[in-house]
């Protein structure tokens, strides 16, 4: 399994400082919906404290939590890939403090600083690979449990 990485610690200090110059501190109260699947992905966050549940709508009445993110985790990656729509929803599981980044500003910075852009894209790709592996493992466990119970 790939190792979980944290976006800000993956960046070398000069690139991290340039990115952090674009950060804005935000706060989300417990149970607040931060974004919805299908909505415009025009920003992302790095969680400072608290927890966020990533959710998938499975029926009109039911959401399933697919991951829980905490301090240091990247929240939102859909801003990096067309069509720039959220693939999941996000909800504050507890009170959350985070750094918020405007996607357009970060993408402009990546154009200006190609090294930062490459490191950022690679870091997001590593984060996604780790989350995919984790999700796959959870699905395999659920499948095995259902088979054993005869469902």
How high is the pLDDT of residue 4?
62
pTM of the entire predicted model: 0.86
60: region left, alpha or beta (phi > 0 left; psi from -120 to 50 alpha)? alpha
Q: How far apart are alpha carbons 143 and 137 in whole angstroms?
A: 10
How high is the pLDDT of residue 58?
75
* DSSP code at position 80: G
Q: How far apart are alpha carbons 52 and 35 in whole angstroms?
A: 11
How deeply is 1 buried, as exposed, middle or buried, from its count of CB atoms within 10 A (0-12, 13-18, 19+)?
exposed
How high is the pLDDT of residue 66?
82
How high is the pLDDT of residue 1?
46
Q: How far apart are alpha carbons 133 and 129 in whole angstroms?
A: 6
Q: pLDDT tens for residues 107-125? A: 999 999 999 999 999 999 9
Task: Assess whether pLDDT exceeds 80 at residue 103.
Answer: yes
Q: How sure is the predictor about 59, in pLDDT bands with cuts at 50, 70 and 90?
A: confident
């Amino acid at each position: 399994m790939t190792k979980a990485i944290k976006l800000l610690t993956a960046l070398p200090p000069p690139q991290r400082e340039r990115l952090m110059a674009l950060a804005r501190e935000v706060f989300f109260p417990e149970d607040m919906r931060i974004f919805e699947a299908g909505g415009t992905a025009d920003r992302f966050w790095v969680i400072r404290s608290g927890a966020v549940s990533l959710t998938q709508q499975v029926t009109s009445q039911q959401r399933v939590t697919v991951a829980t993110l905490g301090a240091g985790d990247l929240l939102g990656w859909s801003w990096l890939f067309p069509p720039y729509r959220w693939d999941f929803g996000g909800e504050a599981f507890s009170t959350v403090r985070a750094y918020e980044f405007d996607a357009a500003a970060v993408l402009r910075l990546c154009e200006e600083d190609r090294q930062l852009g490459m490191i950022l894209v690679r870091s997001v790709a590593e984060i996604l690979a780790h989350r995919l592996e984790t999700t796959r493992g959870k699905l395999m466990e659920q499948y095995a449990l259902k088979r054993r119970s005869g469902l």
